[in-house]
Amino acid sequence: MSAQETSAPPVRQHSLDNSSASPVDGEQLTQVAVRVLTTPNAADKASLTHQTAHLWRDNRLQCSVATDNRPAAPARPARDDAVQLVEPRKMKSLGKGNTLQSRQRLVHSLVHIESWAVDLSWDIIARFGNDPSYRLPRDFFDDFVRVAEDECRHHELLRSRLEEMGSFYGAFPAHDALWDSAAATAHSLPARLAIEHCTHEARGLDVMPATILKFRGNGDEATAKLLEDIIYKEEITHCAAGVRWLKYLHTLAHESAEVDISHSAVEPEDGSSTADASGGTTASTAVAPWMEDARQFPRVEQWFHSLVKRYFKGNLKPPFNEAARAEAGFGPEWYMPIAAAAPGSAPAAAAAALQPQASLPEVAPAVPIATGA
Ligand SMILES: [Fe+2]
Ligand SMILES: [Fe+2]
């Protein structure tokens, strides 16, 4: 155990600067979302999250497509130095949960993942909420404000549980691989939904039952119950939100006519920009790049397969939690055709049988595998 692991937990303090100022009546939701992302202190981030969710539910915040110079989502959310970060490959094994320190490490890693999940929820609102090409209705923002509040509650509950176990957030090193997928999908809402919510969060559903058993089997019923009764059930709804809005975008792309992308935040995948020589955006009516992409795929599952191949490194790992995935709204036709399996094995044969007829673009994968929140 390192010196850092044995030191006393830091006192939780709120910062006093204006970067985490409370939301006010009539403010734009996307603007407040940027403020949560640029708030470095976890307690301030949580406080802002709860205040914003409350105001949003009371219809006291606005959400209109940007026609002014609103602050953009930061490339990376602000973080204080409460947790020592290491490269994923240098992370020590979390263990099997058969010692107190192993269980502390497991809960610590979940606390850290949930903290990133809070930022990911606000990032999807801040980064894509102002883009008119997505035609996002209020339901979209309802869903992701709720997800942000859920993730914040998960972070706080697990953090309190970690302290009950005699440890604290920051006691162990952690890695930030989850943000790598966010960076790789920062140009595209469908890519973000496919990778963060339908892949990483779905993977979280696959491994959650075994994680719960790890705690229960080692006598830690309190952590097992917290995961089973609250977090697991709510994570299914987060996956469902990803599936729901990916389906929405696929339908929109196939049913709509051309869309004005003059204020689009979407960057074409070739790296070119819609900005004109004067630095402004070119007022034009055209099909947004993401729509052109979606229109290559008659079925949303095929589009999902293509997005995973482009933005996720490797195949999806079985075994899958079929019941939880079905509850979230996606069946085996979504994941079996891109599942990792040994040639000739039963899963490989099943995957081949479900493989869609349309060919998928061959694009280099970009993101390492990580487990979602
Ligand atoms: Fe969560
Ligand atoms: Fe989640």
The per-residue pLDDT for 267 is 38
List of residues 6+ apart from 257 with CB closer than 8 A: none
Do residues 124 and 189 touch, judged by C-beta distance below 8 A?
Answer: yes
Do residues 185 and 195 touch, judged by C-beta distance below 8 A?
Answer: yes
How many separate domains does the chain show?
1
Say how many Å lie between the CA of residue 147 and the centre of ligand 1.
Answer: 8
The two beta strands, 259-260 and 285-286, are antiparallel
Q: Tell me, what DSSP letter sits at residue 174?
A: B
Residue 337: CB atoms within 10 A of its CB come to: 22
Structural domain includes residue 193 = yes
The per-residue pLDDT for 140 is 97
Provide the 3-class DSSP secondary structure of residue 186. Answer: coil
Structural domain includes residue 247 = yes
Do residues 252 and 295 touch, judged by C-beta distance below 8 A?
Answer: no
**Which ligand gives the minimal distance to the CA of 156?**
1
Q: Tell me, what DSSP letter sits at residue 18?
A: G
Residue 64: CB atoms within 10 A of its CB come to: 11
Q: Tell me, what DSSP letter sits at residue 219?
A: T
The per-residue pLDDT for 115 is 95
The per-residue pLDDT for 43 is 87
Structural domain includes residue 51 = yes
List of residues 6+ apart from 215 with CB closer than 8 A: 97, 103, 106, 221, 223, 224, 227
The per-residue pLDDT for 3 is 38
Say how many Å lie between the CA of residue 272 and the centre of ligand 1.
Answer: 35
The per-residue pLDDT for 272 is 39
3-state SS of 138-169 is HHHHHHHHHHHHHHHHHHHHHHHHHHHCCCCC
Q: Tell me, what DSSP letter sits at residue 129?
A: T
Do residues 60 and 66 touch, judged by C-beta distance below 8 A?
Answer: no
Say how many Å lie between the CA of residue 358 and the centre of ligand 1.
Answer: 35
Provide the 3-class DSSP secondary structure of residue 339. Answer: strand
Say how many Å lie between the CA of residue 113 and the centre of ligand 2.
Answer: 9
**Which ligand gives the minimal distance to the CA of 198?**
2
Structural domain includes residue 76 = yes
Do residues 116 and 109 touch, judged by C-beta distance below 8 A?
Answer: no
**Which ligand gives the minimal distance to the CA of 372?**
2
- Name residue 275's beta-bridge partners: 281
Measured CA to CA, the distance from residue 46 to residue 259 in angstroms comes to 36
Structural domain includes residue 257 = yes
- Which is it for the CA torsion 331, 337, 340, 341, positive or negative? positive
Measured CA to CA, the distance from residue 325 to residue 48 in angstroms comes to 31
Model pTM score? 0.82
The per-residue pLDDT for 313 is 83
**Which ligand gives the minimal distance to the CA of 114?**
1
**Which ligand gives the minimal distance to the CA of 230?**
1
Q: Domain range spanning residue 142?
A: 24-261+285-354
Structural domain includes residue 277 = no
Q: Tell me, what DSSP letter sits at residue 315?
A: P
- Closest by alpha carbon to 326, among 234, 232, 205, 207? 205
Say how many Å lie between the CA of residue 205 and the centre of ligand 2.
Answer: 10
Q: Tell me, what DSSP letter sits at residue 187?
A: T
Q: Is the peptide bond before 319 cis (omega within 30 degrees of 0)?
A: yes
DSSP string, 223-289: HHHHIIIIIHHHHHHHHHHHHHHHHHHHHHHHH---EE-TT--PPPTTS--SB-TTSSB---EE--H
Structural domain includes residue 278 = no
Per-residue pLDDT tens digits of the chain, which is 373 residues long: 443 444 555 544 444 455 668 898 899 999 999 999 999 998 899 999 999 999 999 999 998 876 667 778 999 999 999 899 888 888 888 888 999 999 999 999 999 999 999 999 999 999 999 999 999 999 999 999 999 999 999 999 999 999 999 999 999 999 988 888 899 999 999 999 999 999 999 999 999 999 999 999 999 999 999 999 999 999 999 999 999 999 999 999 998 765 444 444 333 334 333 333 333 334 446 789 999 999 999 999 999 999 999 999 878 999 999 999 999 999 999 999 999 864 455 544 444 444 433 333 333 333 333 456 6
Structural domain includes residue 5 = no
